[in-house]
Amino acid sequence: MSPCINPTEFFAGQPVSLARHVAVLVYESLLLFAVLFIAGLLVLPVTRGNPSIFYTLYLLLVSFGYFAWHWRKGCTLAMQAWRVKIRSVDGQRITWKQVVIRFTVAFLSIACCGLGFFWLLFDKQKRTWHDIASCTQLVHIPKSK
């Protein structure tokens, strides 16, 4: 049983479908690749083309920074393009603790062949593992008329 309050009580939008999740994830991967490419170029003179564990941790930290910055604002560029917002179940902006939990569990979700994302097919509130763990949810915001 989740310690979270029912998120459908707080959102005007609909829970995000798996198809929309995948679309956001594909778009997000392209944006993240560009960010990591530039971040990698910035430290290339220091690494001299020899990646190390520190280089890997640096790129992981850059990835965390990218998502943390945008999630705290309510959406990433990919989420904005697909009219998706992230909020805490109480309807507020997500906290730093929620960001850390969400990022960590999302990483594990992907590492488990995406099973954490497919979980939304079985969850009545269409939440992924990282939504459940961090008490957050993505919602689709319909177009304004």
What 8-state DSSP symbol labels residue 120?
G
What is the pTM (predicted TM-score) of this model? 0.85
CB 113 within 8 A of CB 121: no
List b or e across 32-59, with b for residues whose CB sees 16 or more CB atoms inside 10 angstroms.
Answer: beeebeebeeeeeeeeeeeeeeeeeebb
pLDDT at 12: 63
pLDDT at 13: 75
pLDDT at 22: 92
pLDDT at 71: 96
Dist CA 78 CA 2 (whole Å):
28
Which residues of the chain carry a pLDDT beneath 70?
Answer: 1-12, 49, 145
